[in-house]
Amino acid sequence: MRDLYVEKTIAQVVADKVPTPKNMLLAASVIVLLISVSYAAVFLGNLGNTSKPSLPISVACVGDSITEWSGYPANLQAMLGENYSVGNFGVAESAVSTNWFKPYVKQSAFQDSMDFEPSIVIIMLGTNDAHKYQSTDSFANDYETLIADYQSLPGDQQIILVKPPPIYENNLELSGTNLQEDVIPLIEQVADNMSVHVLDVNTALTNHPEYFVDGVHPNSDGAITIATEVSQAITLEDYAAGAP
């Protein structure tokens, strides 16, 4: 015959050893305690799972020809290592302003960068917005719209706006004065309005015309400088817990 005591629950065992008037109250207390512990375990487990993105951490490099052609995203990948996956979503001749002939938001690379589901978005645009004949009237609104699109993605994206490299003497009708006096102050304004970070590679490349092949596009030394500045703004500790 099966031992009747084998079928007893923890609450019943405790209740058997307590005077009858307290049996039900103590049994109920034990059950509530067990349920509370279970819920706490589930909550803490979910908290740990959602607070940090999984590895590798995806980094989208958004920009114009400086991003597409310079090689800085490849340098960034090498600097960050295997815990990151860096995507190059640069588009030559693109700009923030939607009244420019090639706005970034209208390019297929923009949607590709969204589909990449980045945890970190590095946006380095504004050089073509500094064209001698380009108005910056819509720049701030257009940039905020672009940022909002990335912020609408699932998860908690870290978005960094990069002040573009300085513009030196060139034959591309790009104005260093427009960049420094119009575009960069607007980038700072947008970053403040949207509560996103700003990274200054402009200063890092100032007084280094030798880092450019045509006064606008960085050579390999310029690309390494950009990648170094970006990599220093990103650390594994900030974006992933328990990584090797």
Write out pLDDT tens, residues 156-186. Answer: 899 999 999 999 999 999 999 999 999 999 9
Omega prior to 165 cis, within 30 of 0: no
Query: Going by C-beta distance under 8 Å and a sequence separation of 6 or more, which residues neighbour residue 15?
Result: 23, 24, 26, 27
Instruction: Tell me what pLDDT residue 126 has.
Output: 98
Instruction: Tell me what pLDDT residue 239 has.
Output: 53
Residue type, 134: Q
Q: Is the pTM of this model over 0.85?
A: no
Question: Which superfamily, per CATH, for 57-239?
Answer: SGNH hydrolase (3.40.50.1110)
